[in-house]
Amino acid sequence: MKRVLLGSIRHETSSFVPGSTGLDVFRLNGMYEGDDLFGPNRVKGGTIDAICDVANKEGIELIPTIYAFGNAGPAVADATYEYLKERLLQGVRTHRRELAGVILPLHGAMSTESLDDPEGDLIKSVREIVGPDVPIVVSLDMHAHMTALSTDYVDGITSLQTHPHVDMYSNGARAMHLLARAIKGDAKPVVAQRKIRMMSSAETHNTTVGPMSQVMQRALAMEKEPGILATAIFATQPWMDVRELGWSTVVVADGDRALAQAKADELAMMCWERRERFLVHKTPIKEAVQKVLASESQPWVLADSSDSVTGGSNGDGNLLLKTLLEMNYADSALMTLTDPEAAIACFTAGVGATVTLPVGGKLTPGFYSPITVTGTVNTLWNGKYTSSLTPMPVDIGRTAVLQVGGIHILLSEYKAATIDAEAYRGGGLEPKNFKIVQVKSPGGFRVIYGPFAAGILELEAVGPCDSELPRLPFKRIWRPLWPWDKNLEKPW
């Protein structure tokens, strides 16, 4: 039986969120070693399950090392990365002489306090141990930050091909199938990348409509052409302040690197030609609320992606709350705020208590400031649930529902992603019953909320995940880069 080493370190970095991501965050979100990767607490129905299923069908034995999920947030602490890297490499060293291949399901948009591309560093380190003849395949998120370091040492790359992301299982399966073909000698995968000097915020990365859908349709059609094994469009995490920032296209061909490069260039030019259509146009918060009030339908979903939790923000942005209070809004509204101090204060006061306290704006003071409110503590909850979209176990810590007039605020100890509705429902709140429902996401929420929303408005707001990228304090990106340099004529 062929043996394949499996290891996964996943994090998506947001450079404009203060602090660093430590080992405690990985442990909170999911960290398993050895056979625990296949245990009952792992993510069900995702990439790891797919890899296991394909390996079983192919008669391949998986050697598990580490699975560490750090979610999205500030750069990973150097010491944390080195610890996780060493746990994975220790397994590679132990089993190097018996390995037929290596599979690494990563995110691809991690940075550390001192490394722009730790995934590339990790892949290179694995290659140095296993040598040139052991095939390495990685599966990545659609928002991976690709560099030459990330592609030079791998034999194959697959990526998510949907946004909102719903193809985690199929992405893992494609990666494992590709590795199995390389191991059996059925294919000789070679990788080509084209880096594009363009960036855009994630709202327009939707693969079902708009410019991204057109490029993705071509990428999927390419995969059916002779000699093409896999294609990928990397729209890149927009809020990473790193060198070599920019979109990438990657094509894996069967032994023909020139063919792979030509196809990667074709996809890259399609992205570049549509660049103006990837710009985001939003609605000012007050104007959005007025549109909602003029409608008799509900719920209206107001997307504040400037504080996108899935993009790495802390979730303490309170600009919508501020506007509603200033407008004396009297209808119903539902929103989240990450605020451990306020959540704990509600636990101390108890259900039914009236409390006056500052909420929000404490974790990201460069963009927000606290707002003092008076309200009633309606619900207290342990904050544990299973995401209906990912799917994965989630723990947002001690969570309270504070009602301020018609506004229900879900105050959580740890940040709550609202790409699905389970955080709200765990707190006893059904989004369908509210006039306004706030989500802090640039697009992932549409799978869940789209079918029942009366309307969706994207809010114009400043925050660490601002869609107007040039007004964020980028310092390290290479130039020229569109849209910072609007007159840029050549994509590479």
Q: What is the domain extent for residue 228?
A: 2-278
pLDDT, position 320: 98
Last residue of a domain, one of 278, 306, 335: 278
On whether both 157 and 203 belong to a single domain, the answer is yes
On whether both 260 and 287 belong to a single domain, the answer is no
Domain-embedded: residue 191:
yes
On whether both 15 and 107 belong to a single domain, the answer is yes
On whether both 269 and 293 belong to a single domain, the answer is no
On whether both 269 and 315 belong to a single domain, the answer is no
Q: pLDDT tens string for the chain (492 positions)?
A: 899 999 999 999 999 999 999 999 999 999 999 999 988 766 677 899 999 999 999 999 999 999 999 999 999 999 999 999 999 999 999 999 999 999 999 999 999 999 999 999 999 999 999 999 999 999 999 999 999 998 999 999 999 999 999 999 999 999 999 999 999 999 999 999 999 999 999 999 999 999 999 999 999 999 999 999 999 999 999 999 999 999 999 999 999 999 999 999 999 999 999 999 999 999 999 999 999 999 999 999 999 999 999 999 999 999 999 999 999 999 999 999 999 999 999 999 999 999 999 999 999 999 999 999 999 999 999 999 998 887 788 999 999 999 999 999 999 999 999 999 999 999 999 999 999 999 999 999 999 999 999 999 999 999 999 999 999 999 999 999 999 999 999 999
Domain-embedded: residue 116:
yes
On whether both 237 and 366 belong to a single domain, the answer is no
Domain-embedded: residue 477:
no
On whether both 265 and 289 belong to a single domain, the answer is no
Last residue of a domain, one of 260, 278, 296: 278
Domain-embedded: residue 110:
yes
On whether both 45 and 191 belong to a single domain, the answer is yes
pLDDT, position 42: 67
Last residue of a domain, one of 235, 263, 278: 278
On whether both 174 and 323 belong to a single domain, the answer is no
Domain-embedded: residue 37:
yes
Domain-embedded: residue 491:
no
Domain-embedded: residue 69:
yes
> What CATH number has the domain bearing residue 178?
3.40.50.2300
The full 3-state SS of the chain, as one line of letters, equals CEEEEEEEEEEEECCCCCCCECHHHHHHHCEEEHHHHHCCCCCCCCHHHHHHHHHHHHCEEEEEEEEEEEEEECCECHHHHHHHHHHHHHHHHHHHHHCCEEEEECCCECCECCCCCHHHHHHHHHHHHHCCCCCEEEEECCCCCCCHHHHCCCCEEEECCCCCCCCHHHHHHHHHHHHHHHHHCCCCEEEEEEECCECCCHHHCCCCCHHHHHHHHHHHHHCCCCCEEEEEEECCCCCCCCCCCCCEEEEEEECCHHHHHHHHHHHHHHHHHCHHHHCCCCEEHHHHHHHHHCCCCCCEEEECHHHCCCCCCCCCCCHHHHHHHHCCCCCCEEEEEECHHHHHHHHHHCCCCEEEEEECCCCCCCCCCCEEEEEEEEEEECCEEECCCCCCEEECCCEEEEEECCEEEEEECCCCCCCCCHHHHHCCCCHHHCCEEEECCCCCCHHHHCCCCCEEEEEECCCCCCCCHHHCCCCCCCCCCECCCCCCCCCC
On whether both 13 and 43 belong to a single domain, the answer is yes
On whether both 245 and 330 belong to a single domain, the answer is no
pLDDT, position 419: 93
Domain-embedded: residue 481:
no
On whether both 193 and 317 belong to a single domain, the answer is no
pTM flag (> 0.85):
yes
The count of structural domains within the chain is 2
